[in-house]
Amino acid sequence: MLNGQKIVVVMPAYNAARTLRQTYDEVMAHGIVDVVIVVDDASHDETVAIARTLPNVQVEVHPENRGYGANQKTCYRLALAAGADIIIMIHPDYQYTPQLIPAMAALVASGLYPCVLASRILGGGALRGGMPWWKYVSNRFLTFVENLLIGAKLSEYHTGYRAFSRELLERLPLDSNSNDFVFDNQILAQIIALGCAIGEVTCPARYMPEASSINFRRSVRYGLGCLATALRFRLARWGLAQPLV
């Protein structure tokens, strides 16, 4: 716990057997995380078997692959059911460092920000960590357009390392969002539509062969989905579309 608030870390997992234990060990090393929830999206490796050997871990298994967004929906539902006051999502592929968990949790626990993002762009850590140049350029382009349409000033919308307050998650219409990767963008647009502040911390990133990734075709689909989300936000602000929340 932190300031009397229960901290639950959720890990949306898919074929993460090689990095799950290492990620878990660093998550628990700080002594403030109460429970880890691993939701496996029908992996083909030993992810589930490894997760079930770890202490203080709740494991949920999707019988079929439902998608990254659907995985997060299950993660957040279980975290809220477990009584979490602060929910932190981190991928179990060890791309993001769990060492930021105390800082992110503290920003939420203090009431400063109901949502905190770990940004790979702040501080220039993305390219140093091995982010492919085409992903970096795409990230910067999408973020520029999204900030323009949404009216925010985030350094990136595409990080998979996030912290939320319980009160914020309970206000979000998560089930109305995509089951695919664009879920990440939709939830941020909804938070901004609610008028809630989003904090960011600098996050070094590692790009390894075992880190999760999506192919070029799905990346293009994700990018188009991000632009569609930002455009819908702008149209809703003009009264030309249904509100996001």
CATH number at residue 29: 3.90.550.10
- Residues 61 and 54: their CA atoms lie apart, in Å, by 15
Residue 245 domain-assigned (yes or no): no
- Residues 153 and 127: their CA atoms lie apart, in Å, by 21
Residue 86 domain-assigned (yes or no): yes
- Residues 229 and 233: their CA atoms lie apart, in Å, by 6
Instruction: Using DSSP bridges, classify how beta strands 162-165 and 86-89 pair: parallel, antiparallel or unpaired.
Output: antiparallel
CA-to-CA separations, 150 to 5, 76, 126, 161, 241, in angstroms, rounded: 32, 25, 24, 21, 14
Residue 119 corresponds to which tokens in the numbers above? 């940004």
Quote the pLDDT of residue 68.
96
Quote the pLDDT of residue 201.
97
Residue 141 domain-assigned (yes or no): yes
Q: Structural domain of residue 204, as residue ranges? A: 7-237
Residue at token pair 């809220």: 80
Quote the pLDDT of residue 131.
80
Taking only the tens of pLDDT, the chain with its 245 residues reads 788 999 999 999 999 999 999 999 999 999 999 999 999 999 999 999 999 999 999 999 999 999 999 999 999 999 999 999 999 999 999 999 999 999 999 999 999 999 999 999 987 777 777 788 888 899 999 999 999 999 999 999 999 999 999 999 999 999 999 999 999 999 999 999 999 999 999 998 887 665 556 677 888 899 999 999 999 999 999 999 999 98
Residue at token pair 């692959």: 65
From start to end of the chain, where are the E strands? Answer: 7-13, 35-40, 57-61, 86-89, 115-119, 162-165, 198-202
Quote the pLDDT of residue 91.
96
Residue 244 domain-assigned (yes or no): no
Residue 209 domain-assigned (yes or no): yes
For the chain, the domain total comes to: 1
Q: Provide CB contacts within 8 A for 95, sequence distance 6+.
A: 160, 205, 206, 207, 208, 211, 212
End-to-end CA distance of the chain, in Å?
30
Residue 22 domain-assigned (yes or no): yes
Quote the pLDDT of residue 100.
97
Residue 243 domain-assigned (yes or no): no
Residue 218 domain-assigned (yes or no): yes
